[in-house]
Amino acid sequence: MWLLQIAFIEPYYEQYRLSEIEKVNSEIAYRVVDSAIELDSTELSNVVGREMMCVDIMNDTARTLVNSDNLGSTCVIDGISKPALLQFINNAKEAPRNEFSIKFTNNNTNQGMYLMVRGVMVAEDEYVYIFTNAPLEMVDSTVYVLRRQFGLLTLLVFSVATIVSLLLSRRLSYPISNMTKSAKKLATGNYDIAFEGEGYEEVIELSETLNYATSEFQKTDELRRDLVANVSHDIKTPLTMIKAYAEMIQDISGEKPTLREEHLNVILEETNHLERLVNDMLTLSKYESNAYTINLEKYRLSNQVNNTIGLFKGLDINFDVSVGKDIFVYADEVKMGQVLYNYINNASKYVGDDKLILIKAEVVGNTVKVSVTDNGPGIDPEILPYIWDRYYKVGKNFSRNHSNSGLGLSIVKAICIANNSEYGVQSELGEGSSFFYTVPLAINNNKKR
């Protein structure tokens, strides 16, 4: 608006004035022809209306026939000498369309002016000349007031816009630069930072996402550290033992067969433990990476239970099996056999004084729930949620038990997740534990294998 007012208003106004003058002039010419000169001043004034111009209609001797003046003293026509008027008339006569015009500056008012002379034929060889004079510049003081106001307004709008945009950009950039600082700290492994987003919803959302990502990083980092600590602890201890006993054989018991036998047994036991640990680690990573195929087949559940129990023959344990002989399931026999084995293996380690392990199969709808129950020490409710985590026992207690790798239940969990089986435990301290898993019932259950 300001630019329009300051830069383009003059040419625009001039153009407007010229077209107005042209219009009035044409209208007068038409009336003059129509009334055959008999145009009176009232009619002329009506045509001119309130336009800022003065009009003189003269004959070819430059005598005024009728005139209308809205300009008063600034009208230049009255001040033009007769010869000059005749010269103008002559110019109009010779011009195409009998029209002649000039632009000039009024010396008294310093105002741009326009003078137009137009010859109109009113009878055979009889012409009248319409002199029209109008200023081409605005004189109105409101224009200057408006210009000033526009200038001030522009300044005001510009300042307000600058302040508002500064505030807005600060509101936007402040939390983002804060978050950038936090992200740099996070990159150095400092997880005790919080991303504080404020202001815009998107920024708040971003900070929440970053906080979530930080907590996940933290968990992964803890897991990684635990894993390294646990694995190295579990491998280092047997290795130390093996080394120590090998040295003892070398230095002391090499020549003493009984002692040597004893030391060799320790070495063997430690080696077995290492082997078990490495095997379990391989099994778990295989199941967790899903790098194996699931072979679904129909098999008799009681056969699998009996075969698995057979593996614990040498132990002083009684098994109470209540698995219907006619229950056929449709699952991966080898993998589910591993789940059953791990459950029974644990139950045999934590078996109660009664030395009894109960194995039960219940058909619930289309699935069979297999449970392995012992009357052993049970599990502390506080640690119950963690027993499925890898290295749980070894990780938290660092107690050494040669038959434990701390991976048994993690393997169960990985297999059950991969096979869409449910798994879980019910346990009470001092009462015993009951672990279970589910397998789908074979559709045609009666068909014998």
Does 319 engage in binding with ligand ADP (CB under 6 A)? no
Nearer to ligand ADP (CB atom), residue 304 or residue 405: 405
Nearer to ligand ADP (CB atom), residue 324 or residue 377: 377
Does 406 engage in binding with ligand ADP (CB under 6 A)? yes
Nearer to ligand ADP (CB atom), residue 352 or residue 440: 352
Shortest separation between residue 295's beta carbon and ligand ADP, angstroms: 25
3-state SS class at 273: helix
Shortest separation between residue 379's beta carbon and ligand ADP, angstroms: 5
3-state SS class at 271: helix
Nearer to ligand ADP (CB atom), residue 123 or residue 383: 383
Nearer to ligand ADP (CB atom), residue 32 or residue 425: 425
CA–CA–CA angle 240, 244, 247 (5° rounding): 140
Nearer to ligand ADP (CB atom), residue 235 or residue 363: 235
Nearer to ligand ADP (CB atom), residue 7 or residue 315: 315
| Residue (of 74, 130, 140) closest to 99 by Cα position | 130
Nearer to ligand ADP (CB atom), residue 209 or residue 401: 401
Tokens of 129: 């000349």
Q: Note whether 373 and 431 are within 8 A (CB).
A: no
Does 405 engage in binding with ligand ADP (CB under 6 A)? yes
CA distance 62 to 66: 12
Shortest separation between residue 230's beta carbon and ligand ADP, angstroms: 11
* Residue 256, H or E segment: none
CA distance 40 to 123: 18
3-state secondary structure 68-125: EECCHHHCCHHHCCHHHHHHHHHHHHHCHHHEEEEEEEECCCCEEEEEEEEEEEEECC
Phi, psi of 350 (to 5 degrees): -110, 20
Does 214 engage in binding with ligand ADP (CB under 6 A)? no
Shortest separation between residue 435's beta carbon and ligand ADP, angstroms: 6
- Tell me the longest C-alpha to C-alpha distance in the chain: 159
Shortest separation between residue 396's beta carbon and ligand ADP, angstroms: 9
CA distance 332 to 361: 17
Nearer to ligand ADP (CB atom), residue 51 or residue 234: 234
3-state SS class at 133: strand
Shortest separation between residue 449's beta carbon and ligand ADP, angstroms: 31
3-state SS class at 383: coil
Choices 22-30, 200-208, 271-279, 399-407 (CB under 6 A): range interacting with ligand ADP: 399-407
Shortest separation between residue 237's beta carbon and ligand ADP, angstroms: 14
Q: Note whether 116 and 132 are within 8 A (CB).
A: yes
- Strands 356-364 and 318-322, by their bridges, are parallel
Specify which residues 129 forms β-bridges with: 58, 119
Choices 52-60, 71-79, 259-267, 387-395 (CB under 6 A): range interacting with ligand ADP: 387-395
Nearer to ligand ADP (CB atom), residue 200 or residue 350: 350
Does 238 engage in binding with ligand ADP (CB under 6 A)? no
Shortest separation between residue 294's beta carbon and ligand ADP, angstroms: 22
Choices 58-66, 83-91, 193-201, 403-411 (CB under 6 A): range interacting with ligand ADP: 403-411
Q: Dihedral of CA 29/33/36/42: which sign?
A: negative
Among 195, 392, 423, 436, contact with ligand ADP (rule: CB under 6 A): 392
Nearer to ligand ADP (CB atom), residue 51 or residue 389: 389
CA distance 132 to 118: 8
| Amino acid residing at 435 | F
Residue nearest to ligand ADP (CB): 408
CA distance 252 to 381: 48
Shortest separation between residue 372's beta carbon and ligand ADP, angstroms: 8
For the chain, the straight-line distance linking the first and the last C-alpha, in angstroms and rounded, comes to: 94
Among 131, 408, 423, 442, contact with ligand ADP (rule: CB under 6 A): 408
Residues of span 324-383 touching ligand ADP by CB under 6 A: 346-347, 350, 374, 376-377, 379
x/- letters, 427..446, toward ligand ADP (CB under 6 A) = ------x-------------
Burial environment of residue 312 by CB neighbours within 10 A (0 to 12, 13 to 18, 19 or more): middle
Choices 83-91, 241-249, 264-272, 407-415 (CB under 6 A): range interacting with ligand ADP: 407-415
Which residues bind to ligand ADP, rule: CB under 6 A?
346-347, 350, 374, 376-377, 379, 387, 392-393, 404-410, 433
